Amino acid sequence: MIRAALLTPFSVPRRRALRATLGSLVILFLLGQPMVLTPRIDLLGQSGGASVPVLESFDFSSEGGIKVKLPGELREISGLATSGDGRVFGHNDEYGRVYEIDLATGSIINAFNVGRFGVPGDFEGIAVAGERFFLLSSAGDLVEFREGAGGSAVAYQVYPLGLGRLCEMEGLAFEESQNALLLPCKTPRSRSLKDHLVVFSVPLTSMTPDPEPRILLPLKDLDSAGLGKNFHPSAIEVHPETGSLVLVAAREEAMVELSSDGAILATVDLKRKSHPQPEGLTFLPDGSLVIANEGQGGRGTVTRYPRAEGGGRRTP
């Protein structure tokens, strides 16, 4: 089911909301109450210029997607990213090896190691910013590298961000308008972040986390919008046209779309049969949405949802 909702933007206005270190965040402003809207026209021109929610452009029913199986080495695929020239890259979560994927067949076009033997780590997200590639570890460290030729090993640099003491991290995206990376908090470890959907921002110019979260959304607002009281992000992506943020949660089998200023635009319930463990998310140049799923004992899969003319059909 797809639900559209609109919240008065409450979250993280820069230079106003939070004036604390990452170790002791204090919420000063929580404005607005959630309101569920059914007519799509109500969203036109609202919330930072976003019109109809992006997620309403896709048919998430069992007939709406095009699914292909991945090779065995991507059984535990854990992230997706699209390069500027439209190619799709993924990785598994065991070590630093990156794969270029043919979405039509699921086959591997190219693969290379980050480091001679693949830098070790529990990797939970990938992003591409121009020629710069990034992997995110669950401990909150960023690994930067460049694309390598097939079978090669590329040099890398590690940025210890210090976010692991605040959160278990999962998901990574490049927000071009801010020239920054977005890092969702899967499980908060800091008391000040409990019961919130949290997304940190790391500007590429400094490679240091902003002192205020990019998004700090009370989970009670997601519950009011129909998603339930919990949401553990497993992937994030920025829509290239609207700038809205789309997050998927494997544990809750759900998606949420936020405006660039943190207002809830839409929520989606995914079906376990189609998405047993959604771990990767990306948009293609033609507007399609791609979701990667871990194999859970079998082969991993990717499902491409073409953008529907005039809006998608809502899932039952």
Task: List the pLDDT tens digit at each of the 316 positions of the chain.
Answer: 666 654 434 444 333 333 333 333 333 333 333 333 222 222 333 334 445 799 999 999 888 999 999 999 999 999 999 999 999 999 988 789 999 999 999 999 999 999 987 787 889 999 999 999 999 988 889 999 999 999 999 999 999 999 999 999 999 999 999 999 999 999 999 999 999 999 999 999 999 999 999 999 999 999 999 898 999 999 999 999 999 999 999 999 999 999 999 999 999 999 887 898 999 999 999 999 999 999 877 899 999 999 986 555 444 3
User: Would you state the torsion angle of the CA atoms of residues 251, 256, 260, 263, taken in this order, to the nearest 10 degrees?
Assistant: -120
The span from the CA of 139 to the CA of 121, in Å, is 9
Rounded to 5 degrees, what are φ and ψ at 55? -65, -15
CATH 1.20.120 for domain 2-305, yes or no, is: no
Structural tokens at position 177: 């308008």
Residue type, 73: E
Residue type, 104: A
The span from the CA of 222 to the CA of 220, in Å, is 5
Closest of 64, 4, 5, 66 to residue 33, by C-alpha = 5
The span from the CA of 197 to the CA of 218, in Å, is 6
Q: State the pLDDT at residue 8.
A: 39
Q: pTM to 2 decimals?
A: 0.83
The span from the CA of 305 to the CA of 289, in Å, is 5
Residue 90, Cβ density class (10 Å: 0-12 exposed, 13-18 middle, ≥19 buried): buried
Whose tokens are 């069992």? That residue is: 62
The span from the CA of 186 to the CA of 286, in Å, is 29
Q: How many CB atoms lie within 10 A of CB 164?
A: 15
Q: State the pLDDT at residue 272.
A: 80
Closest of 193, 166, 169 to residue 181, by C-alpha = 169
Closest of 143, 8, 159, 148 to residue 79, by C-alpha = 143
Q: State the pLDDT at residue 34.
A: 37
Q: State the pLDDT at residue 1.
A: 66
Q: State the pLDDT at residue 119.
A: 82
Three-state secondary-structure class, residue 53? coil
CA distances for 101 relative to 45, 176, 239, 262, 287, angstroms: 37, 23, 20, 32, 18
Q: State the pLDDT at residue 295.
A: 83
The span from the CA of 229 to the CA of 194, in Å, is 12
Q: How many CB atoms lie within 10 A of CB 110?
A: 17
CA distances for 135 relative to 45, 89, 145, 251, angstroms: 35, 11, 9, 21
Task: Compute the Cα dihedral for 149, 155, 161, 165 and give only its sign.
Answer: positive
Q: State the pLDDT at residue 79.
A: 94
Q: State the pLDDT at residue 120.
A: 78
